[in-house]
Amino acid sequence: MESAILSIRNLHAYYGKKEVLKGINLDVPKNKVTGIMGPSGCGKTTLIRCINRLHELSPSASIRGDIVLDGKSIFKMSPVELRRRIGMVFQRPNPFPTMTIYDNVIAGYILNGINLKKEEKDRIVETALKKVYLWDEVKDALRKKGTFLSGGQQQRLCIARALAMNPEILLLDEPTSALDPKATFKVEELISELKRDVTIIMVTHNVAQAGRIADYIAFLYNGELVEFGKTDDVFTRPQSEKTEEYLTGKFA
């Protein structure tokens, strides 16, 4: 197993008295794509929301256990520092509607009150947009609103916004579910390239997509981690009957 950048230890997550995650233990390998799979309601989104401490913002939400990033508990970091180190991209593209494309990319700095010189801002914007192959498409429209872009471009803009903070980990919550096949293909290609620089944890319902781009698969069922391993191993020799049933479409 490659070196782990993130270790989840005996993690329990609750909404009120309802236990949504039940003792998850997972080591996330560095510079790989880890796919989180499982049927609706099994706790996939809750798991990644715990990783950047969004879960605890929900009323009545609570957590037991620990999550360790590079040897330090995330619960001993300020949420601002943590969310700089662990970026997140949501299911539906969500550029800030009142902001230009340019300001969307550096929104993390703006919202956290981090002042940058103009040259530094320009460099960050150009670098982040080039990483997501959007620079050539938008370089002459940086002062237009982000919502002027197509759905696929908006999602790549949201990925650029997360990458602009130089995170160590990027959380993707079903990043292509609202996109058409062509835009999906572009985002999948992008994810495969980004892992050279950043560790990616991706929730997906799409078994074929996980097979194409995930290096490792974590299969959740009813709040428990049923199986974790290299994608090829999980897909061809699943250790659990539940995993096999899910992969062969017996339930969704």
Residue 172 lies in a domain: yes
For residue 252, being part of any structural domain is answered with: no
Where in the sequence is the domain holding 231, given as residue range(s)? 4-247
Kindly report, residue by residue over 117-148, the tens digit of the pLDDT. 999 999 999 999 999 999 999 999 999 999 99
User: With helix as H, strand as E and coil as C, how does 51-119 read?
Assistant: HCCCHHHCCCEEEEEEEEECCEEHHHCCHHHHHHHEEEECCCCCCCCCCEHHHHHCHHHHHCCCCCCHH
The enclosing domain of 25 has a CATH number of 3.40.50.300
pTM of the complete model:
0.94
pLDDT digits (tens, 9 = 90+) for 14-28: 999 999 999 999 999
Q: Buried (b) or exposed (e) across 176-203, using 16+ Cβ within 10 A?
A: bebbeeebbebbbebbeebbeebbbbbb
Per-residue pLDDT band at 110 (split at 50, 70, 90): confident
Helix (H, G, I), strand (E, B) or coil at 3: coil
Whether residue 251 has pLDDT greater than 80: no
Q: So what's the pLDDT on residue 214?
A: 97
In a domain, 127, yes or no: yes
- Average pLDDT of 178-194? 92
- The reported pLDDT for the residue numbered 131 is 93
Residue 172: strand, helix, or coil: strand
Q: How far apart are CA 232 and CA 228, in angstroms?
A: 11
Q: For residue 98, what pLDDT is reported?
A: 93
The mean pLDDT value for 87-102 works out to: 92
Residue 114, pLDDT score: 86
| Digit-coded pLDDT (tens) for 195-247 | 999 999 999 989 999 999 999 999 999 999 999 999 999 999 999 999 999 99
**Is the separation of the CB atoms in 21 and 55 below 8 Å?**
no
53 pLDDT above the threshold of 80? yes
pLDDT above 80: residue 252 = no
Domain count, the chain: 1
| Per-residue model confidence (pLDDT) at position 1 | 56
- What pLDDT score does 111 carry? 84
The residue assigned the tokens 């609750």 is: 14
Amino acid at site 245: E
Check the CA dihedral 4-199-243-19 and report its sign.
positive
